[in-house]
C-alpha cells in the first residue's frame, strides 16, 4: 500500500473526531475510510484502557474493508488477526471483531463494556445492533468511529443521528454547529472529488457504473430516496437502443435462471458481442397460473433440455455452446436435478439485489445491455419494475415483488458477467469477480 499524505479535508476530519460519536459519510472512494482509520488508530494508541470493538456487515467484509488495509498500514507484527477467536491485536490492544448481518447480532455484544468501537458501513447494519453498541460504550472517554455511504433520507442513521450532529463538516468544507440539543456527534461528509489521488479514467468509469439514484448517492454523496421506475432509462420500443430486431454473433453464452413453481420460471440466454455489448438473446418461461399446471424439477430440466437442443429457438447450437448456467440460489432441488440430467453443476447466482440493480441500470444507461425483441415478457416486466413505496417510507430500498421474474433472471446474468463488463468501464476486477 502506498501511504499518501492526508488531504486538507481528511486532516480536518481527523482533528475534529473528538466527539463520543464520529461518522464519516459520503461518496465511494472519497477518502472517508482512510481518514476514519487514521483517527481510529490515534484513538487506539491514546484512548482509555479497555476492550475495543471492530464491526461491520460480516466478519469477511470487516476483514476485506478494514483489517487488510490496517495490516498493510501497520505491518503484520503490529496488526494481528486471529480469525478463529474473532480478535484483532493492534499495537498490543485487544479488539473484538463482530459481524452484524441480522437482528440477532445485538446478542453478540450484550454484557460487553467497551472503551471504543469502529463500525464499517453502519447504514447496512440493524438498528438494534447500533443502539445496543452505544450502550456498551460505558468506559469514561469512550468513542465510536464509523463510516457509511448515503442511503434513503428517511434511514434511521440519518434521521436520528447524522441530522442531530453537534458538528458537521459538509461536502464543500464548511463547518456547521448544532444547537444545544444536538448529539455529541461529529459528522464528516465526503464527495468523490475530495479524493485527489484517483485517476481520471477510474473516476469516469465509476460515474458510468453509477447512474441515476446511485450516482447521486455514491458519487455526489447525497441521501436521496429510491422512487418510481427502477429502470427509467430503459427504452422498450423495438429498434431502439435497448431492444433489437437482429442479434450480432455472440460468444460466452450463459443461461440465467429465476426459479418458480407457483410463480413463473424464467430462463434467459445471454451472450457478449464484439462491439462490446451484453445481450439478452432468448427467453424461456413457464407460468403455472397461465398454463394451469405446475412442473416438477425433472420436468423443468427436460423442457429446458429440449429448448437448448433446438438451439434456444434457433440461436445456439445445443448444450455444448452454453459456457455457464447460473440459477436462483434458493433453488437447491432444481440445481440437483440439473446435475443429474446434464452431468455437470450449475452455479448459484449472486443475489445481491441492490448491487445487481445498480449494475444493470448502469449498463442500460451506457447502452451496454440490450434485449432481443423475442424476449417480450421479460422486456415488459423491466418496463414495469418499480421501487416499493412502503419500503422507501421505512428508509429501505426494495423493488416491488410483482412481475419481477425476468428482471431477477437478468440481474443474475449481469452479475455473472461482471469480470467482462467491468473492463468495458475501465474498472478493476476483483478475484471474486474473475471466478464468477
pLDDT along the chain (436 residues), means of 10: 66 89 91 89 93 92 88 84 83 89 89 94 94 95 95 89 93 82 93 82 84 84 85 79 91 94 94 93 93 94 92 66 91 96 94 91 91 93 88 84 92 92 72 53
Beta strands in 52-131 (DSSP E): 52-56, 79-82, 87-90, 93-99, 116-119
Each residue's pLDDT tens digit, 195-220: 878 888 888 888 888 888 888 888 88
Give yes or no for a contact between 389 and 227, defined as CB atoms under 8 angstroms apart.
yes
Is the Cβ–Cβ distance between 370 and 339 less than 8 Å?
A: no
Question: Angle at Cα 88 formed by Cα 87 and Cα 90, nearest 5°?
Answer: 150
Cell numbers representing residue 7 in the block: 488531504
HSE at residue 198, side-chain half, CA atoms within 13 A, is 20
Half-sphere exposure at residue 7, Cβ-oriented, CA atoms within 13 angstroms: 19
Q: What is the pLDDT of residue 304?
A: 95
**pLDDT value of residue 173:** 76
Determine the Cα–Cα distance for residues 158 and 23; give it in Å rounded to an integer: 11
pLDDT at 430: 59
pLDDT for the residue 434: 52
Residue with cell 491514546: 46
Nearest to 27 by CA among 224, 263, 199: 224
Amino acid at each position: 500500500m502506498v501511504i499518501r499524505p492526508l488531504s486538507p479535508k481528511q486532516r480536518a476530519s481527523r482533528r475534529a473526531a473528538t466527539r463520543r460519536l464520529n461518522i464519516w459519510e459520503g461518496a465511494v472512494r472519497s477518502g472517508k475510510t482512510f481518514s476514519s482509520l487514521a483517527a481510529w488508530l490515534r484513538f487506539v494508541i491514546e484512548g482509555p484502557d479497555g476492550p475495543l470493538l471492530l464491526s461491520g456487515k460480516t466478519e469477511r467484509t470487516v476483514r476485506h474493508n478494514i483489517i487488510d488495509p490496517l495490516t498493510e498500514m501497520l505491518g503484520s507484527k503490529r496488526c494481528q488477526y486471529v480469525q478463529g477467536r474473532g480478535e484483532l491485536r493492534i499495537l498490543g490492544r485487544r479488539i473484538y471483531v463482530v459481524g452484524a448481518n441480522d437482528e440477532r447480532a445485538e446478542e453478540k455484544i450484550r454484557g460487553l463494556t467497551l472503551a471504543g468501537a469502529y463500525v464499517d458501513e453502519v447504514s447496512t447494519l440493524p438498528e438494534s445492533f447500533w443502539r445496543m453498541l452505544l450502550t456498551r460504550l460505558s468506559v469514561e472517554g469512550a468513542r465510536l468511529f464509523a463510516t457509511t455511504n448515503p442511503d434513503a433520507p428517511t434511514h434511521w442513521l440519518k434521521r436520528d443521528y447524522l441530522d442531530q450532529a453537534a458538528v458537521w463538516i459538509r461536502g464543500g468544507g464548511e463547518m456547521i454547529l448544532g444547537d444545544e440539543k444536538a448529539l455529541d456527534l461529529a459528522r464528516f461528509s465526503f464527495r468523490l472529488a475530495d479524493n485527489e489521488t484517483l485517476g481520471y479514467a477510474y473516476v469516469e468509469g465509476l460515474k458510468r457504473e453509477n447512474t441515476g439514484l446511485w450516482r447521486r448517492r455514491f458519487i455526489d454523496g447525497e441521501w436521496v430516496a429510491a422512487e418510481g421506475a427502477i429502470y427509467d432509462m430503459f427504452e422498450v420500443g423495438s429498434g431502439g437502443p435497448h431492444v433489437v430486431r437482429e442479434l450480432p454473433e455472440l460468444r460466452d453464452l450463459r443461461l440465467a435462471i429465476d426459479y418458480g413453481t407457483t410463480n413463473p420460471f424464467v430462463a434467459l440466454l445471454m451472450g457478449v458481442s464484439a462491439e462490446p455489448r451484453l445481450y439478452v438473446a432468448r427467453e424461456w418461461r413457464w407460468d403455472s397460473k397461465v398454463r394451469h399446471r405446475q412442473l416438477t424439477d425433472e420436468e423443468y430440466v427436460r423442457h429446458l433440455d429440449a429448448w437448448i437442443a433446438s438451439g434456444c429457438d434457433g440461436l445456439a447450437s445445443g448444450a455444448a455452446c452454453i459456457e455457464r448456467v447460473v440459477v436462483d440460489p434458493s433453488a437447491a432441488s432444481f440445481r440437483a436435478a440439473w446435475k443429474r440430467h446434464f452431468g455437470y453443476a450449475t452455479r448459484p447466482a449472486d443475489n445481491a439485489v441492490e448491487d445487481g440493480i445498480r449494475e444493470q441500470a448502469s449498463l442500460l444507461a451506457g447502452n451496454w445491455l440490450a434485449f432481443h425483441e423475442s424476449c417480450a415478457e421479460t422486456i415488459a416486466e423491466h418496463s414495469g419494475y418499480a421501487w416499493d413505496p412502503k419500503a422507501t417510507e421505512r428508509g429501505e430500498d426494495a423493488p416491488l415483488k410483482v412481475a419481477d421474474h425476468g428482471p431477477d433472471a437478468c440481474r443474475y446474468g449481469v452479475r455473472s458477467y461482471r469480470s467482462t463488463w467491468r473492463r468495458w468501464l475501465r474498472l478493476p476486477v476483483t478475484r471474486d469477480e474473475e471466478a464468477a
